[in-house]
Chains A and B, each alone.
Chain A
C-alpha cells in the first residue's frame, strides 16, 4: 500500500516537472524589454531623480530638445533647428509642430519654457544651466534661451537628458508632487507604475513623433548585485544589463547568446593630490607620482584592456580634448630622482577612496600601492565608506585631511568645459575642487574659453588650459571609466542607443526578435 502511494507521488512530481516548461526567461511576455540596473529608480520624475543610468530611463517619458549622434555631433530632436543670436548670448530653438504629449495635448513653446525653468528650479543637476539668464517663448513655436555672457557650450548642454520636456498643463493640473508620481511628457514611453525597490514599468506611446516604439513594454528592474544581474541576463530574466566587472565581460563575450557593449566613456577616474599641503604642494612630488604609476599596466591587467588610459584631465572624445601634454609615461627612475630633488625620497602618505563606489577601485588602489613601493614610496590605503569619504572631500582646505584621493569626473555635454570647471576657485570645497587647486592663469583661460564663440579660438584656449593643468598636475588622470552594457542577442538596435555617460537615447526603435 505504502509503495503504491509513493509511486503516485513520484508520478505526480514527474508530471509537474514536465508541465513546467524550462528555458531562459520562460513565462515572460515577448513584447517586454527588461533592463536591469544597479540603481533603484527613486522617482519617475527626471527633474527630481539622480543616477546617470536612471536618468536615461526616465528620459524615455519626457524628451530632450537635442541629442548627440554617433560622432558626438548635436542633432535635432524635439527642437528641429536652432540659431545663435545676440552675439552668442542667445540660442533660439524651433520646436517641432504637432508633437503629442501622453495626455493628448500638443507640445508648445510654453511647455518647453516651463520644463526648462522647472529643471533650473528643482533639479539636482540644475548647475548645468546656471549661466542662463532667461528662457522665453517666442511666436512660431520657438524658445529663446539667453545667458548672462556668451557661453559657447550651451547647445550641447541641452543634450543632458535631465533637461527634459514635460506637459505644463499636466503639472499645473495635478500639482507638482502628484505630477512627480505620474509624469507626462512627449517621450516614446508613458509611465505606468513604479514598484519601489523593485521596478518601473513603462508602456509604448503609439503617437510618439519619431515613430511608434517597437517594443510595447519597458521594465526597468533594480538588481543591485553584479552576479545577480549577470545571472538574470544569462537566465533570460533581463534583456539588457548595465555595469559588471571585466571578468564578467569576458564571460559575456564568450556567450553566443549575448552581446557585449562597451561605448567610449565621458567619465574618468583621477587621483587628486592636495595641492595646499605637504607633500603634494610641491609640484615635483606630484610629477613623481605620475611617473611612478604605470597606468597602461592597470588598464591591461585589471581592466583586461577594456578601459583606456586618460591622457588629460578632460575625457577623451570630448570637444577640445588633447593628449599631447601627458608626458608622464611610466618611468620609475625619473620618479625616484624627482622625489630626491623634493627632499622626500622615502615618502609616506595616505590614499583615501570610497570603497566599492567605482569599478575595480580596490584592485586599482592595491596595484598603485605596489607600483609606488618600487620607487620607495609608502602609500597607506584608507578604505572609507562612501558617505564618510564624500563628507571628507567637502571639508575646507584648513580642515581637509585628504592627501591623495580617488574620484570620478565627467563631461555632461561632451565639451571639455564641463569637465575642467571643477578646478576653478568657485569650486573649492564644499565644491568639487578636491585637489584644492588655485591658479590665476587657469582662471583667466577658463573664463576666456567660456566667452569665446569662435570655435577655433576656443579650441586653442581649451588646449592651453589642458597644458596648464597637465603641467601643474593637481590630479593624475588615470583611466576612462569603462561603461559596460550587455544585451541578449535577440535585442536589436540597442548598442547604438548607449551614450558615453551611461545613459541611453530614446529606445523607440529598439526591438526584440
Chain B
C-alpha cells in the first residue's frame, strides 16, 4: 500500500505541473487587466502603471511564470492582488468553510441517497421505489439557486428557524447542506439502487437466503457491501465536485467558500489567487482519488494494491 501511495504521488506531480502551466497561460490570455480592475473608475494611468509594476505584471509572462514556480517550490503561492494577503492564508480560510459545507452536504446526500436507493432496490417497483426515484429525479433536476432561495424564504424569512446565510455557526450550514446534499442524493440513490439490484440477483445472495439468513443480514452484510464499491466511486466524485463546484450555493447563502472566491477572483483577474485555488483543487482531487482507492480495499478484501 505504501509503495502504491508513493507511486500515485509521483504520477500526480507532472499532472499538477501541467495544471499550473495551463492556468498560468489561461489567466494571462484572458482580456482585462487586474490593475485597471482594482484601481477602478477613479484611477489615473499613472496609478495603473504603478500597480502593474508592484505585482510584476509589467514583466514578460515566462519570467512571471518562473517567479511563480520558484515561489511554489518553497510552498509560497504568492500574494493576492486584491487583498495584498498571502494566497495560501486566503485559501485555507475559505477551504475550511468549503470543506465543512461539502462534508455536511455529502452526509445529507449519503443518508438520503443510500436510504432511497436501498428502499428502491429491496422493494422494486413499489410505492417506496417510485417515491424514492421521483425524489432523486427532483433532487438532480432542481436548480440549486432556486431550491436555495425556497429554503431561505421558508426557513429563514417565514419561520425564522435558521439563518439566511453566512458561516458563523453550525446552524448556517444546515440549509446550504440540505440544498446541495439533495442534488447529490439523487445521483447516489440511482447508483445505489441499480448496484444493489444487481447484487441481489447474484448466486451468493440466493445461497445465503437458502441457508436461512435473515433478509436484513442478506441485504446489509452481503449485497450492500458489494454494491457499495461503485457507490463509493460516485460519492468520491460528488465530494470532489462539491469542493470546487459549490459556487451557486455559496453565493445564494453568502458563504465565504472557495468556489465563490474563485469566481470573484476570475472577475477581478487576481492571477495569484486563481492559480492558487486551481492548484489547491487539483491537489484535493488527487488526494480524494487516493482516499477512494483506499476505501475500495477496505470494502472489498479482493482489492490489493501492490
Q: Which of A's residues lie within 8 Å of B, judged by CB?
A: 20, 22-27, 36, 40, 42-43, 48, 50-51, 124-128, 130, 177, 180, 195-199, 221-225, 227-228, 231-232, 234-237, 385-388, 390-392, 394, 407-410, 412, 430-432
Contact = CB atoms under 8 A, between A and B. Distances in A.
A231 B157 CA distance: 6
A224 B267 CA distance: 13
A52 B255 CA distance: 22
Which 3 pairs across A and B sit closest by C-beta, in order of nearness? A387-B32, A197-B256, A198-B256
B153 A231 contact: yes
Interface in B167-219: 167-168, 171
A234 B157 contact: yes
Contact of B44 (A127, A224, A227): A127
A391 B83 contact: no
A233 to B, nearest CB: 9
Contacts of B33: 387, 390-391, 394
Contact of B164 (A235, A385, A387, A410): A235
A256 B203 CA distance: 68
Contact of B163 (A20, A43, A237, A410): A237
A390 B253 CA distance: 29
Interface in B245-280: 251-257, 260-261, 264, 267-269
A120 B32 CA distance: 26
Contact of B254 (A23, A232, A391, A408): A232
A42 B83 CA distance: 5
Interface in B21-67: 30-33, 36-45, 47-48, 51
B90 interface: yes
A225 B48 CA distance: 29
Nearest to B30: A387
A235 B160 contact: yes
Contact of A409 (B41, B44, B94, B161): B41
Contacts of B47: 124, 126-127
A124 B264 contact: no
B234 interface: no
B37 A387 contact: yes
A51 B39 CA distance: 10
Contacts of B160: 22-26, 235-236
Contacts of B37: 386-387, 390
Contact of B45 (A195, A224, A227, A431): A431
A386 B36 CA distance: 11
Contacts of B94: 196-197
A127 B39 CA distance: 11
Contacts of B166: 198-199, 221, 237
A227 B168 CA distance: 20
A198 B167 contact: yes
B82 A42 contact: yes
Chain B residues touching A, range: 35 or more
B84 A48 contact: yes
B152 A235 contact: yes
Nearest to A394: B36
B179 to A, nearest CB: 12
B165 interface: yes
Contact of A22 (B42, B43, B161, B267): B161
B156 interface: yes
B126 interface: no
B159 interface: yes
A127 B83 contact: no
A223 B84 contact: no
B256 A222 contact: yes
A221 B172 CA distance: 14
B152 A228 contact: yes
B163 A127 contact: no
Contact of A196 (B42, B85, B171): B85
B69 interface: no
A40 B261 CA distance: 10
Contacts of A48: 84
Nearest to A24: B160
Given A223-B165, A228-B254, A235-B164, 9 more contacts: A124-B40, A180-B84, A224-B251, A225-B254, A231-B165, A232-B164, A385-B267, A394-B36, A408-B41
Nearest to A386: B267
A390 B256 contact: no
Contact of B165 (A232, A386, A432): A232
A23 to B, nearest CB: 4
26 contacts: A22-B159, A22-B161, A27-B163, A42-B83, A48-B84, A124-B51, A127-B44, A196-B94, A198-B167, A198-B255, A224-B251, A224-B260, A225-B254, A228-B149, A228-B164, A228-B253, A231-B149, A232-B165, A235-B152, A235-B157, A235-B163, A385-B267, A394-B48, A407-B41, A410-B41, A432-B41
Contacts of A227: 149, 252
Contacts of A180: 84
A20 B162 CA distance: 9
A237 B161 CA distance: 11
A130 B47 CA distance: 12
A50 B90 CA distance: 18
B93 interface: yes
Given A197-B94, A222-B256, A385 B32 contact: yes
A388 B45 CA distance: 17
Given A22-B159, A196-B93, A388-B32, A231 B164 contact: yes
Contacts of B90: 196
Nearest to A267: B41
Contacts of A222: 254, 256
A50 B254 contact: no
Contacts of A232: 156, 164-165, 254
Nearest to A229: B254
B255 to A, nearest CB: 8
A430 B157 contact: no
A41 B44 CA distance: 23
Contacts of A20: 161
B38 A391 contact: no
A235 B164 CA distance: 7
B36 A124 contact: no
A231 B164 CA distance: 7
B161 A391 contact: no
Contacts of B267: 385-387
Contacts of A51: 40
A130 B43 CA distance: 12
A410 B40 CA distance: 13
A94 to B, nearest CB: 29
Contacts of B252: 225, 227-228
A490 B42 CA distance: 36
B16 to A, nearest CB: 25
A237 B41 contact: no
A48 B260 CA distance: 23
A124 B38 contact: yes
A410 B42 CA distance: 10
Nearest to B261: A197
Contact of A391 (B36, B44, B156, B164): B36
